[in-house]
Amino acid sequence: MKRGISNLFVHGESFKKEFRRQVRMIIVFTLGFTIAFTWRQTIFDLSLTLVTFLTKVKNSSELSILTSVLITVISLILIFLTSHFLKEGSSHF
C-alpha cells in the first residue's frame, strides 16, 4: 500500500506532467512580473508628463496622485474592454 501511494504522488506520470505545468507557469509569471516592473517607471513618467501638460499642477504630491488616478482609470477601462470582448459566448472574435 505504501509503495502504491508513493508511486502515485512521486513517480507517477500525472505528477510529472502537473509538476512541469506548474514550473512552466511560475516561469511565465516571473518573467511577466519582471517585464511589468521594468515598464512601470516608463509608463508612470509618460503619464506624469501628460498630466503636467493637461493640468499645469506644480505640486509633486498632487501630480503623483493625479497620475496614479489616470493610470488606474485607463487600466480599468482596458480590463472592462478585455473582459467584454473575451467573455464566453461572445462573437466578437
Which tens digit of pLDDT belongs to each residue from 57-81?
A: 999 999 999 999 999 999 999 999 9
In terms of Cα–Cα distance, which of 42, 49, 75 is closest to 64? 49
Confidence at residue 39, expressed as pLDDT on a 0 to 100 scale:
95
92 within some domain = no
CA 48 – CA 42 distance, rounded (Å): 10
Provide the whole-model pTM: 0.66
In angstroms, how far is the first alpha carbon of the chain from the final one? 51
Domain count, the chain: 1
Which domain, by its residues, includes 78? 2-85
Confidence at residue 33, expressed as pLDDT on a 0 to 100 scale:
95
91 within some domain = no
For residue 51, count other CB atoms closer than 10 A to its CB: 21
Indicate the Cα dihedral angle 9, 10, 15, 16, nearest 10°: 180
